[in-house]
Amino acid sequence: MKFVDVVLPFAGRAFYTYGVPEDMEIAPGQIVHVPFRRKEEIGLVVKQNKKLDCDIKKIKNIIAKTEYQFSQNFLEYLGRVSRFTMSDFGAVIRAALPPKEVLIAKTEKALYMPADFQGRLTPQRQKIQNAFLGKTESLTMAQILKRTGLSRAVIQSFIAAGGLDEVESIDGDLEEKPPFEFSDFAYLTDAQKTAAEIIKQNIQTKPVVLNGVTGSGKTEVYFKLAKEAIESGKQVLILLPEISLTVQFLNRFEMRFGRQPSIWHSHVTAATKRKIWKQIDSGQEQIVIGTRSALFLPFKNLGLVVVDEEHDGSYKQEDQFLYHARDMAVMRCAMENAGIILASATPSFETLANIEEDRYAEVRLTERVKKAVMPAIELVDLKENKPEKINDKKGWISPVLIDSLIQTFENKRQALLFLNRRGYAPLMICGRCGHRVKCPNCDVYMVYHQGQKEWLKCHHCDYQRTPPKKCEQCEDEDSFTLCGPGIERLAEEAMTRFPNQRVLVLSSENTQTSKQLEDALHKIENSEVDLIIGTQILAKGHHFPGLAVVGIVDADMSLMGADFRAGEKTLQLLEQTAGRAGRVGEKGTVFVQTHAPDHPVMQALQRGDKEGFVQQELSARKLLKMPPYGMLIALILSGKDERTLRAFCEDMARRAPQDNDIKIFGPADATIRFLRGKYRKRFLIQAPRSMAGHQFVRTWLSHIKTPSTIQIKIDVNPYTFM
């Protein structure tokens, strides 16, 4: 009897040992059906188990093989991802295993006929064969189940043993993809052609950074290289941040490739997921465009990965298992000998350090195609340029910006106001006693929204309620005032100031479906709106030809908080937003409203001296041994009872190992001390840039027994510090 160790997607770190039935061949990487706690589950075979250290009698057998097997390489990769991110192997493989639909629908839709079976016929197997007696047509799994009254597991094991042949499938999964019809890319500018050449010369040996200003034609460059990879028979993956996957982008793809790519993100339908997963697994599809989770598709012959907007924060997955898709993409390509391109107008500091240290190559595109020039940047000091009241209501748009908007509308051009805050007002406060309305589940203020009716919403746990009529603390009636602007309030101000202009408000809330976003983008392109007011959703990727002026209403927002990347993130966000302006024709202007015009980021923006700022920041980080020159690992502990949590954290701190190169900060209350009904504390571990920090944390946690009432989340390379 042979035994194998299997990981289950929900079972954390543990490996489970199963027996391999006599007539089954199993290699590591095989995806199998196994019995687990009276249910049938899907698992991944990770290795043979030669020195059995558990009770043989308790070991159950594998029920059946699926038709899917991960390559040795991919299996090894998943293991590395788990070690690097310090996540449970189970959580990592959950991202990679075929979606349930692939397996279930497969057996439901396949048609079977009895095979010429020479093995031992148990009474049950006899029964299965009998179900076909006198019938010449093939049967589905559902029909066999019904006719035999046997369990699915028994039938599947008979299929796996070769008792039934799958004769055909009643769905169209295995339809051929339409052929590509490539553009010849002859229209590329000399700069673009040279960039493509340099990338090709370097990509065999290291990742290449395509560093080019917004609108410099980066997309066309990597499209050309994707085409070449496809032509040489390889598979290509293009990763985009969550919100750049628009029809606009896909249409452009279709123009260059002659057909649509497969699209993968968390909201595609089960049927589509099933189809794409199988087509990637079988090598029928050569190109996928997707968000970070596409990285875990079972490519068989990966030739090129593009990470577009590589600096984007949405590549860091913050729930389930925590990973940075850019870094994990680099790892995957290294293991599969695939090329990788990281494209951005504002590369992350991690990437800049990798260029500086020669681990990555860099190619630059310094000019916009179509002669469009970069916009001018005007800092607006809000202390000198105070927004004025209008109709007795507080305003947020400064007089200089208003003048420029009026001018823009007169010239029949478009303007955009950017404010990264959803809702009407971020805070409701009692004018008499100062009480602020908080979420009952989280230690955060509730955001005031207006729509058909007014309501309060927690942007962390989604708890909603109607606004209180009187203060819950001092019981004063009608004493509440609204503090600060959200985009709804900004839109109200704009509509009052510019009653004759057509205003469009865009946020993740009114663009829930891609259709809604599409319609909005369409209106903008067709000049059916004059003023666009939006959140982050507008900051990247999109191309608005008529846009002449961009106003960044509150540039200080991302500068606040205890995040050491605040400067870097602000610079990226402002650059990206600014990049929307004047993409075609005349020079655009970007107004940056700030209370901190002397801040180094603001100064750098105004001088157009991004590089200077970046160099300064990088040296500071080097000095402090912060990322990218050091490694951070955060431990986030949470529990319902604050006292137990505190005591546990203090005990943990006492048991921390000693290491001269590694510093521990904390335990400290998390910025959001209470979230979704749980108290939270954090440790931050600062270590050299190697795996030393990982080892340190592993040793530390191995000495500690965590009670079931407390959860520990490990965040390697944290990007949020809440």
For ligand ADP, the binding residue among 106, 218, 678, 682 (CB under 6 A) is 218
- Closer to ligand ADP at the Cβ: 192 or 594? 192
For ligand ADP, the binding residue among 188, 419, 553, 636 (CB under 6 A) is 188
Based on the shown chain and the rule CB under 6 A, indicate whether residue 582 belongs to the binding site for ligand ADP: no
Based on the shown chain and the rule CB under 5 A, indicate whether residue 458 belongs to the binding site for Zn ion: yes
Smallest distance from ligand ADP to CB 584, Å: 8
The CA distance from 361 to 356, in Å, is 9
For ligand ADP, the binding residue among 66, 69, 219, 594 (CB under 6 A) is 219
Would strands 323-324 and 164-169 be described as parallel, antiparallel, or unpaired? unpaired
Smallest distance from ligand ADP to CB 583, Å: 7
Based on the shown chain and the rule CB under 6 A, indicate whether residue 247 belongs to the binding site for ligand ADP: no
Query: Would you say the C-alpha torsion 366, 367, 369, 373 has a positive or negative sign?
Result: positive
439 binds, among ligand ADP, Zn ion, none (CB under 5 to 8 A by kind): Zn ion
Q: Which range, of 32-40, 214-222, 290-298, 311-319, touches ligand ADP by CB under 6 A? A: 214-222
DSSP structural state of residue 397: S
Based on the shown chain and the rule CB under 5 A, indicate whether residue 437 belongs to the binding site for Zn ion: no
In Å, how far are 307, 439, 538 from 442, measured between CA atoms? 34, 5, 28
For Zn ion, the binding residue among 376, 461, 557, 656 (CB under 5 A) is 461
- The type of residue at 550 is V
Q: Which range, of 41-49, 88-96, 212-220, 518-526, touches ligand ADP by CB under 6 A? A: 212-220
Q: Helix or strand or coil: residue 302?
A: strand
- The type of residue at 76 is E
Based on the shown chain and the rule CB under 5 A, indicate whether residue 460 belongs to the binding site for Zn ion: yes
The CA distance from 112 to 526, in Å, is 54
For ligand ADP, the binding residue among 13, 151, 167, 187 (CB under 6 A) is 187
Closest CA to 73 of 85, 81, 65: 81
Smallest distance from ligand ADP to CB 522, Å: 16
Q: Is the peptide bond before 21 cis (omega within 30 degrees of 0)?
A: no
- Closer to Zn ion at the Cβ: 76 or 443? 443
Smallest distance from Zn ion to CB 648, Å: 24
Q: Which range, of 184-192, 271-279, 346-354, 524-532, touches ligand ADP by CB under 6 A? A: 184-192
Asked whether the beta carbons of 32 and 5 are under 8 A apart, the reply is no
Show contacts with ligand ADP in window 485-544 (CB under 6 A).
Answer: 543
Smallest distance from ligand ADP to CB 370, Å: 6
Counting Cα atoms < 13 Å in the Cβ hemisphere of 44 gives 27
For Zn ion, the binding residue among 110, 225, 329, 442 (CB under 5 A) is 442
Based on the shown chain and the rule CB under 6 A, indicate whether residue 309 belongs to the binding site for ligand ADP: no
Ranges assigned E (strand) in 502-588: 503-506, 531-534, 547-552
Based on the shown chain and the rule CB under 6 A, indicate whether residue 665 belongs to the binding site for ligand ADP: no
298 binds, among Zn ion, ligand ADP, none (CB under 5 to 8 A by kind): none
441 binds, among ligand ADP, Zn ion, none (CB under 5 to 8 A by kind): Zn ion
Closest CA to 494 of 414, 575, 375: 414
Asked whether the beta carbons of 264 and 287 are under 8 A apart, the reply is no
Asked whether the beta carbons of 26 and 92 are under 8 A apart, the reply is no
Q: Which range, of 45-53, 106-114, 182-190, 496-504, touches ligand ADP by CB under 6 A? A: 182-190
The separation between CA 328 and the C-alpha centre of its own chain, rounded to angstroms, equals 12
Closest CA to 496 of 397, 588, 587, 569: 397
Based on the shown chain and the rule CB under 6 A, indicate whether residue 100 belongs to the binding site for ligand ADP: no
For ligand ADP, the binding residue among 267, 370, 436, 663 (CB under 6 A) is 370
DSSP structural state of residue 375: P
Query: Would you say the C-alpha torsion 675, 680, 685, 690 has a positive or negative sign?
Result: negative
For ligand ADP, the binding residue among 369, 373, 495, 672 (CB under 6 A) is 369
Q: Which two tokens stand for residue 443?
A: 């230690």
Show contacts with Zn ion in window 138-157 (CB under 5 A).
Answer: none
Closest CA to 298 of 280, 272, 271, 273: 280
- Closer to ligand ADP at the Cβ: 389 or 587? 587
Closest CA to 282 of 91, 7, 98, 471: 98
Based on the shown chain and the rule CB under 6 A, indicate whether residue 589 belongs to the binding site for ligand ADP: no
Based on the shown chain and the rule CB under 6 A, indicate whether residue 570 belongs to the binding site for ligand ADP: no
Show contacts with Zn ion in window 350-389 (CB under 5 A).
Answer: none
The CA distance from 216 to 225, in Å, is 16
Would strands 547-552 and 414-418 be described as parallel, antiparallel, or unpaired? parallel
- Closer to Zn ion at the Cβ: 565 or 678? 678
- Closer to ligand ADP at the Cβ: 49 or 291? 291
Smallest distance from Zn ion to CB 456, Å: 10
Closest CA to 408 of 263, 590, 254, 601: 590
Q: Is the peptide bond before 667 cis (omega within 30 degrees of 0)?
A: yes
Q: Which range, of 390-398, 437-445, 595-603, 607-615, touches Zn ion by CB under 5 A? A: 437-445
H helix count then E strand count, the chain: 20, 32
Phi-psi group of 68: left, alpha or beta (phi > 0 → left; psi -120 to 50 → alpha; rest → beta): beta
188 binds, among ligand ADP, Zn ion, none (CB under 5 to 8 A by kind): ligand ADP
217 binds, among Zn ion, ligand ADP, none (CB under 5 to 8 A by kind): ligand ADP
Q: Which range, of 208-216, 328-336, 404-412, 476-484, touches ligand ADP by CB under 6 A? A: 208-216
Based on the shown chain and the rule CB under 6 A, indicate whether residue 450 belongs to the binding site for ligand ADP: no
429 binds, among Zn ion, ligand ADP, none (CB under 5 to 8 A by kind): none
Based on the shown chain and the rule CB under 5 A, indicate whether residue 439 belongs to the binding site for Zn ion: yes
Q: Which range, of 76-84, 185-193, 326-334, 627-635, touches ligand ADP by CB under 6 A? A: 185-193
Based on the shown chain and the rule CB under 5 A, indicate whether residue 180 belongs to the binding site for Zn ion: no
214 binds, among ligand ADP, Zn ion, none (CB under 5 to 8 A by kind): ligand ADP
442 binds, among Zn ion, ligand ADP, none (CB under 5 to 8 A by kind): Zn ion
Smallest distance from ligand ADP to CB 524, Å: 14
Q: Which range, of 162-170, 218-226, 398-406, 705-713, touches ligand ADP by CB under 6 A? A: 218-226
Based on the shown chain and the rule CB under 6 A, indicate whether residue 216 belongs to the binding site for ligand ADP: yes
Q: Which range, of 44-52, 124-132, 216-224, 595-603, touches ligand ADP by CB under 6 A? A: 216-224
The separation between CA 305 and the C-alpha centre of its own chain, rounded to angstroms, equals 16
Asked whether the beta carbons of 640 and 659 are under 8 A apart, the reply is no
In Å, how far are 24, 59, 631, 721 from 627, measured between CA atoms? 49, 46, 6, 14
State the DSSP string of 588-652.
PEEEEEES-TTSHHHHHHHHT-HHHHHHHHHHHHHHHT-TTSSEEEEEEEEES-HHHHHHHHHHH
Hey, what's the torsion of the CAs at 135, 141, 144, 149, to 10 degrees? -170
Based on the shown chain and the rule CB under 6 A, indicate whether residue 138 belongs to the binding site for ligand ADP: no
For Zn ion, the binding residue among 441, 450, 606, 695 (CB under 5 A) is 441
Based on the shown chain and the rule CB under 6 A, indicate whether residue 215 belongs to the binding site for ligand ADP: yes
Angle among Cα 652, 654, 660 to the nearest 5 degrees reads 105
Interface with Zn ion (CB under 5 A)? 439, 441-442, 458, 460-461, 463
Interface with ligand ADP (CB under 6 A)? 187-189, 192, 212, 214-220, 369-370, 543
